[in-house]
Amino acid sequence: MRFPKSLFFLFLLLSVSGFAQKTISHKVVSGESVYSIAKKYNVTEAEIIEINPKAKGLLQLDMVLSIPKNSKKKAEDKKAKFVPKGPSHKVESGESLYTIAKKYDIPMDKLREANPQLDSDNLQLGELLALPKGIKKQVEDKPSKAESAKIAKLQSKLQKHTVASGESFYVIAKKYNISVEELKKANPQVENDKLDIKDVVFIPGTENVVVKDKKAKEEKKKEVEKIKVETPVVVTEEKKSTGNETLGTIHEVVAKETKYGISKRYGISIAELEKLNPQITNGLEVGQQLVVRGEVKKEEVKTTKEILTTTDANDVASTSEADFVEAKREVLPLSADAAMKADFLIAKASENLGVRYRGGGTDKNGFDCSGLMFTTFRNLDMTLPRSSSDMAANSGVKIDRSQAQKGDLIFFATRGRWVGHVGMITEITDDEIKFIHSSTSAGVIISSTKEPYYSKRFVQINRVLN
């Protein structure tokens, strides 16, 4: 009996010794928490609790914890710090090793060999990959000197915004009621969309109105000084439309107005304003007549007359009247603000590409399909139901497939005839809809309604963003 016992104790000693080599002992001192200890050793809280189950509650003074030496977080940090020496490629939303290899016309094996830091084919958004030798990096053409000078001249007329802590292109664009694309286009000097505190960005659509005639400028100034009115109140008056002519709301530009101010007043984006009035792309002029509502046939919709009233009868007489139309639509397209929210949600969801599927999961350790949507929309303080069937029944408004837009939820029947799966639309091209979701087989991926599996099981689309 002694021989087996000695073997048992030897095995136990070797196991403890092996475990000790993989961990570090830490004695808890006053004021420490699992979070602070994890941060100190650059490991995750989950890894500490996994080895030390008692650490899940309150830590006891002088408690000894085992801290893992080989942390997943350290491996991820090492992966994140990988900087290719030669040509490289930055992973974009929806890309995989296959699509990148195809883009550069190289075998996937060669791409894997050039990136020994990869422990799987799962890629993270923004990750840098080294390209095999002999492959030229595809870069965008830099603007010429003339183009740079033109951009600098335009920026000199725009309002400046100093980046504050926590601000991103999305946050700033939302603040000024413009799209993220417009903001990025006006600031080509920002590399990799990375903003730092105290960086200066230029806000498109905030250039001052150009007054060509000096005399006209002086007259307008005198006119403005004479006018002392309160904020206009919009009064609507219905009238019956006749004829087939096309109407729209007309706005006359006055001194010191900006595209930003006009778009905000009428509740449209600067892009929509410029689309309706291509002549203002390079700036506004006093007296210009701008269309600020979409044009439709009078015979198709009711029309109203908009009268701007003030406290002074003389001001009413001098104020231009404008007819506008309001189309009756089953579902309106996404507003500029909602479109920005959709882009933001897609970017947040794409950060989880490659994360595995886990039933009931709502974090980086794994997502189920509704868990991914639940967590993604929480970034906008929107709380969705916790199951795909509840989302289909109680989230937003059900819309026709032809009206689908980015940010809408798309549902599939994976449990007979009942909704059992959900994703978020990321792209729409002709009759194809692409969506991000967490699949049981591949985790978080981007799929298409062209794929037979999803084509046969499509149920409905819900508009959640207002």
Tokens of 106: 């190289």
**458 strand-pairing partners:** 412
251 is an active site residue: no
89 is an active site residue: no
Q: Is the dihedral of CA 44, 45, 48, 53 positive or negative?
A: negative
Catalytic residue among 89, 161, 251, 369: 369
Residue 342: partners with Cβ closer than 8 Å, 6 or more residues away: 334, 405, 406, 407, 465
Total H helices, total E strands in the chain = 17, 21
Element (H, E) at 362: strand 362-363
Which region holds residue 221: left if phi is over 0, alpha if psi is between -120 and 50, else beta?
alpha
If you write DSSP's letter for every residue of 291-357 in order, what string do you get? E-S--EETTTS-EEEEEEE-S-HHHHHHSPPEEEE----SSPPPPHHHHHHHHHHHHHHHTTTTPPB
Q: In residues, how long is the chain?
A: 466
CB 24 within 8 A of CB 42: no
- In 3D space, the residue among 203, 210, 291 whose CA is nearest the CA of residue 257 turns out to be 210
Tokens of 30: 């006053």
- In 3D space, the residue among 94, 91, 93 whose CA is nearest the CA of residue 448 turns out to be 94
369 is an active site residue: yes
From the number of C-beta atoms within 10 Å of its C-beta (0-12, 13-18, 19+), residue 436 rates as buried
Catalytic residue among 89, 161, 251, 437: 437
Q: Is the dihedral of CA 436, 437, 440, 444 positive or negative?
A: positive
392-407: burial string, b at 16+ Cβ within 10 Å, e else: beebbeebeeeebbbb
Alpha-carbon distance of 459 to 411, in angstroms, equals: 6
Catalytic residue among 89, 161, 251, 421: 421
CB 438 within 8 A of CB 463: no
> Which amino acid would we find at residue 72?
K
Alpha-carbon distance of 132 to 110, in angstroms, equals: 7
Q: List residues with catalytic annotation.
A: 369, 421, 437
